[in-house]
Chains A and B, each alone.
Chain A
């Protein structure tokens, strides 16, 4: 099984290296082949909002940069980790520049999910999603927004399983992070074909 860590560390923000190493080690211990993309080192242009990836070059973004490769790697993984500083309750620019380019992985066609309209799957299988948000200090409000956002993403990215945890830099418990990754790895390793 493959796991992909999308590291959304900012250019001038805190380093997430230690988090990434801990997550990676725990995933490996659970038999995952792990790959990490440090997004700030990759050339990924902003999405143009053109929808050509649906109606001109179906399934492939028209921008020929690392965004295409990131999409290919994401869809061929079983477990996806978003590792990001929490920015206003949302993702960092570095993570979001990549996520905005993942639209080619879903279908343009609409379908109803629990009474709401979303897009159909393009692929038969999508990875489970574990989101780890890092904030400077504990903040219930931003943590709630972040968790809500990941839940919404899990619908639109057709994640069979998802989990969100927010850790405060000032009060960091690596054991809790390890436990989270360990438990989610086991869950994601189960039948992953929703």
Chain B
């Protein structure tokens, strides 16, 4: 199958100001160099109403390749991503039952990022995405797991300097693999899962300082450890 059209589904509620958008858009820009027609869709707004859902499914159906870029929420997919993927899987299953000839061959690749330093914390989510691909009868091209998502946070890679070198090389290679409709190579998995900051302690130190700084700016520095619901007796 030749990939002529790719759709990027961005699963972060933060829209373009998210690590998911940065990562997914970079990969999409690389695919465009291979003359692949692309479109980026923000899931949170695309499936808000029934009418929008119908249009969303039409756009997904037109693509040969679906790329999903999403954050890790509570060890798995954000709620809205579960909803969007359920819609896609239901539509695909229906097509296969109603009219198997009209069911198009489509491929699926995913980029998951988490705020923890370890890219491995995305492992369970990747298994969920693979299972989705199986149930939706999509060819699974593999998953890219990125840790330290907080260091990307909506930035363009050009702003990140040497920190993003391995990640960029990994995504470049991913575009090469995807364009051939091949499973992501080991180089992609290795390069993209490398920590953006080599010392884990430094990432957590800066992270902890950042929470304090933001709380200070918002005038709640002394309240950051508050327990507002402690011992609350709730009635129906």
Contacts and interface: CB of A to CB of B under 8 A. Distances in A.
Interface in B27-86: 44, 71, 73-80, 82-83, 85-86
Interface residues of B, number: 52
A88 B227 contact: no
Given A46-B44, A55-B214, A90-B77, A149 B225 contact: no
A152 interface: yes
Given A59-B228, A72-B232, A149-B124, A117 B75 contact: no
Interface in B66-121: 71, 73-80, 82-83, 85-86, 89, 116-118, 121
A78 B5 CA distance: 51
A22 B33 CA distance: 58
A103 B228 CA distance: 13
Contacts of A59: 226-229
Interface string A30-74: 000001000000000011111100111111100000000101110
Given A58-B224, A76-B234, A96 B76 contact: yes
A96 B82 contact: yes
Contacts of A105: 229
B131 interface: yes
A90 B86 CA distance: 11
Nearest to B90: A12
Nearest to B44: A46
B128 A90 contact: yes
A185 interface: no
Contact of B131 (A35, A88, A96): A88
A141 interface: yes
Contacts of B214: 51, 55-56
Contacts of A60: 228
A20 B233 CA distance: 23
B118 A87 contact: no
Interface in A81-129: 87-93, 96-97, 99-100, 102-103, 105, 107-110, 116-118, 122-123
Nearest to A95: B79
A75 interface: yes
A15 interface: no
B79 A55 contact: no
Given A47-B78, A71-B229, A93-B82, A117 B118 contact: yes
Interface stretch (B10-18, B164-172, B178-186): B10-18
B208 interface: yes
A70 B120 CA distance: 30
B127 to A, nearest CB: 5
Contacts of B14: 48-50
A141 B131 contact: yes
Contacts of A56: 214-215, 218, 220
Given A93-B79, A108-B211, 4 more contacts: A55-B220, A76-B234, A92-B82, A116-B121
Interface of A: 35, 46-51, 54-60, 69, 71-73, 75-76, 87-93, 96-97, 99-100, 102-103, 105, 107-110, 116-118, 122-123, 141-142, 145, 148-149, 152-153, 156
20 contacts: A47-B13, A47-B78, A54-B211, A54-B224, A55-B211, A55-B215, A58-B224, A73-B234, A75-B229, A76-B233, A88-B135, A93-B80, A93-B83, A96-B78, A108-B224, A110-B208, A116-B116, A117-B200, A153-B75, A156-B74
